[in-house]
Amino acid sequence: MPKTTLSTFAEQTPRETAGPNTFSAFDYQVNVSMALMLELHRQNKEFVAVFDHHDDLVLFVGEGEEAELSFYQIKTTHHLNWTAKRLAQSTPKGELPKSIIGKAYYNIAQFGPEIRRACILSNRPLKATPASSEKETLLDGELTVADLCEKDKKALFQALEADFSGAFDSSHSNLLSFERVPYDKESYRLTVMGQITKLLEELHPDFVACSSPFYEALLASAGECTGNKTKSGTVEELQARVSLNRNDISKMIHIVQNRSKNAVEWWPVVHDELAKKGKMGLEIQRTKNKCLSYTNARRSGEKAALDLSASISNAISHLEIDEIDSVFSAIALLNISGLCHEPPSESYDLQAAMIVEVMEAVT
C-alpha cells in the first residue's frame, strides 16, 4: 500500500464513531489537540491537524510527500490507570472493531504501515510490564505495543485478532502506541493557557495580555472543525471544514503582534505623566475612567465616539507622532490642529479621546 498523503487521506470516508459522550470529554479532546499543535508550532514544524475525522485527531507533520501521518484516539478516565486488559476490552454492541486497541489499529489497516503511529492518548498512565523488565509499573510518556511484555501483548493481540480476523499483522505492533499526556482532567484548560502564555511571552512580554483571547480564538477554531463526518472530495474541502495548520496559528500570532495595546496595558504610561504634572490620585482616576468610557463607547458603535475617533485619527496621520516622547505633547499638537470641540457625552471628554487615540497609535 503506497504512503498516505493529505490528498489520498481526503478521499477516504471516515469510520463511524460515536465521539465524546460528554462535554467534558469533548472539551478535553479539543484542548489536548490544541496543545499538540502549539508544540509543533513551537518546534517550527509544518503540520496539518484534522479534527474528529477518521480519529479524534490526525496529524500530518512535515511537508508534501514527506509528511508523517499520526492518528490519535484521545481518552479521558476517572480510573487510576489503564491496563492491557482494559485496552483490549470489547464493547458488546456495534460494528467491528469493538476494542479500544482495535479502533486504533483500524487506521493501520485502512492506511497501511507507512503511517508514523496510531496512538491512544489519555490523562492516566498505562499499568503494564515493559519487555525489558519483569516488574509491572506505571508507564508515562509514549510506548508502543511492541515494547510490552509477552503477557500484555498477548491480551492485546487476542483483541486485535477478534476485531480483524485473519487481517491483523503483529509486525505492526511498533506502530500502535499509548501515551499519557500531563493534562489533568480538572485543570487541562489552565495547562493549555499556560502553554499559550509561554509562547506569546517568548515573542514579547507585552503579548501575554493576549493569552486569554488567543486561547478562546484557537478553541473556537478547533471546535468548528469537529463533528463533521462528510467525505471530503478534495484537499481544499478537507482543510476548510475540519483542519487547522501551522499557517492558521501563525495568522493568530500575527494578529497579536500587530494589534494595538488596550487601555489596561498602556495606562501606566499616562498615569506616570499625569503624576509628573502634579495631578492627584482622584483626578488621575477620573481621567482613566473617561478613557475607558470613550473606549467602550467607540467599541459599542456610538456615532459620536466613532466620528471623534475618525477625526482624531485623521489629525494623527498628519503628525510625526513617533518622534514625540510625551502623550500630552502629542495632545497639545492635536489641539493646535483644530480638534477643539467637546463630544456630547458626560462620561468622556475630548482629552480622554485624544489620550486613547494617541496611545493606540504609538503602541
**Whole-number Å distance between alpha carbons of 188 and 183:** 5
Give the type of residue at 204. H
Q: Could you read off the pLDDT of 157-169 as tens digits, one per residue?
A: 999 999 999 899 9
The C-alpha cell of 346 is what?
A: 458626560
Which of 23, 61, 25, 19 has its CA nearest to residue 41? 61
Helix, strand, coil abundance in the chain, percent, nearest 5: 55, 15, 35
Q: Could you read off the pLDDT of 188-240 as tens digits, one per residue?
A: 999 999 999 999 999 888 888 889 999 999 999 998 888 666 666 677 777 77
Under 8 Å between Cβ of 216 and 60: no
Beta strand 243-245 with 176-180 is: unpaired
Q: What is the mean pLDDT of residues 281-301?
A: 94
**Whole-number Å distance between alpha carbons of 313 and 307:** 10
Report the percent of the chain where pLDDT is more than 90: 62
| pLDDT given for residue 319 in this prediction | 83
Per DSSP, the three-state class of 296 is: helix
Assess whether pLDDT exceeds 90 at residue 283.
Answer: yes
Under 8 Å between Cβ of 319 and 331: no
**pLDDT classification of 260: cutoffs 50, 70, 90:** confident
